[in-house]
A and B are shown apart, each in its own frame.
Chain A
């Protein structure tokens, strides 16, 4: 177990490091000059050169990378060009908003998708289930920015009951959560249906049923418990993906999270800010994946960590 944990943490650190390096190289290979985005519109070329020197942008790439690594180990990710404050602080200010949105979306998804998926598995291949099935396909087919704008139109413009954008009160959380949850819900409920259909057809269910175990116990205590590992994996992966930035939904609702931050950082070629965002979100996402893996033995006592899967 400790060796397993050490190996997994090592792998995770390596993945974050490789991701950061890729991003470091990508942003610097990209055309577009951070200096001209930073400078005043009437800046002369001498001004631009001075800014580039100040940011160390005219050093050779390898020198920039060396300095980046040195600063990384001291926890310094540079100063954001557009916010004029430490990039890491800018990201950490935004992170709670993204985490809030991700947590509430995953909570709604779990609460709705699990019962829905179980119902679909138990009623598999009836007409009503076919209807629900087609609805979940529709749910995963709508572009999320469109769902968002539609919800905005209905609940913030036509019936002005909810705030349209930003985060001023908790009610501002409702529409972004609903938008994210529609897609996640469709995906997760289909997974639950698939897993539960297989589980309900297994022989241990037949045996338990023949011994007089009630149907509700068969469904929830036997079949669902046996579907827990793939279900938690899927929810974990979805949650990690949401932490990596619900970019589109955040842009639609002007949500002050890291997703809308990264779009702005890319537009202004704010290298330190892009790197800090990637570092923080990738770390969080990988941490979630690690926790999910560590939860396997709790969900299924047959799983032993560290043994080949």
Chain B
């Protein structure tokens, strides 16, 4: 079929040239990232979501006669920890807390960021001044130190940790939304809506925001990845959700005392976090690549 066409084809461009073209390989790269990202994410998220259904020992069921069994022994796929608890079960149940915190934090920071960013971009003036000063101030603050302080202040409950991560992340959404709204508000449809007599608030809420939510929501996946990392870092430093929640950072910091004898206590939970975050980052990156207009003109 191809030979028949290429024999008499009017164009010198062959199918091979097309396959080698920048646009094609950009798309191929984005597709690869999306696929690999989806696989990595599903590999972690599905078992975590199904942790209650899977035939696993309880996350807190101790069996002191089976302490620190290596992986793949006696039905313990990830082995057991220093108190004889099944490590896989702990990682999966801990993942439910870590993921829930991450998703909630991203939702909260997304809402705050879009609201503040679009108000700053749309109204300008003092609103913009206030929001922008906040953004700058937060950049200057020692972030992790402040987060540890706030957790020390309000206690390490799931709600507090979620809010703390959301506070850490809203500037990113706000800055992006602000820049998108700055472009959007100069477009003719905004002027048209004003001419129709809509108030500023309704122009912003009903016309401008729907047009920036999609591009702004692309960063959400990247933020989710950061949120999971931040939560595990806080847990590692002892400022994560308290026992009996076995969050990922906590499992690793508990297992660190045993790295000389039991490598899996740290290696496997960390690997799970890394696979999930790589997956989410790849998905976010792939989506961004795919929606981004071609930035390169040839060459």
Contact = CB atoms under 8 A, between A and B. Distances in A.
A125 B274 contact: no
Contact-residue bracket for chain B: 35 or more
Nearest to B155: A31
A282 to B, nearest CB: 6
A51 to B, nearest CB: 20
Interface in B237-254: 237, 249, 252-253
Interface stretch (A59-67, A147-155, A167-175, A296-304): A147-155
Q: What is the interface of chain B mostly: helix, strand, loop, or mixed?
A: helix
A145 interface: yes
A149 B149 contact: no
B45 to A, nearest CB: 15
B232 interface: yes
B26 interface: yes
A151 B33 CA distance: 27
Contacts of B146: 22-23, 26
A112 B186 CA distance: 42
Given A145-B249, A247-B237, A126 B25 contact: yes
Interface string A273-285: 0100110011001
B55 interface: no
Interface in B100-144: 136-137, 139-144
Contact of A138 (B155, B253, B278): B278
B153 A248 contact: no
Contact of B270 (A137, A146, A197, A248): A146
A138 B25 CA distance: 21
B259 A157 contact: yes
A49 interface: no
Contacts of B142: 244-245, 278, 281-282, 285
Given A133-B29, A140-B281, A201-B296, A266 B148 contact: yes
A30 B25 contact: no
B141 A201 contact: no
Contacts of A206: 299
Interface-centre pick from A32, A149, A198, A262 (highest chain B CB count, 10 A): A149
Contact of B140 (A130, A140, A285): A285
Contact of B150 (A26, A146, A201): A26
B266 A146 contact: yes
Given A125-B25, A125-B26, A150-B267, A282 B233 contact: no
B99 to A, nearest CB: 15
Given A130-B29, A149-B259, A200-B299, A125 B22 contact: yes
A143 B256 contact: no
14 contacts: A26-B153, A125-B25, A134-B33, A138-B274, A138-B278, A141-B225, A143-B233, A143-B273, A145-B249, A146-B266, A149-B252, A247-B237, A251-B236, A281-B145
Please list the 6 inter-chain residue pairs (A to B) with the smallest Cβ-Cβ separation, ordered nearest first: A146-B270, A244-B142, A141-B277, A30-B153, A141-B278, A125-B25
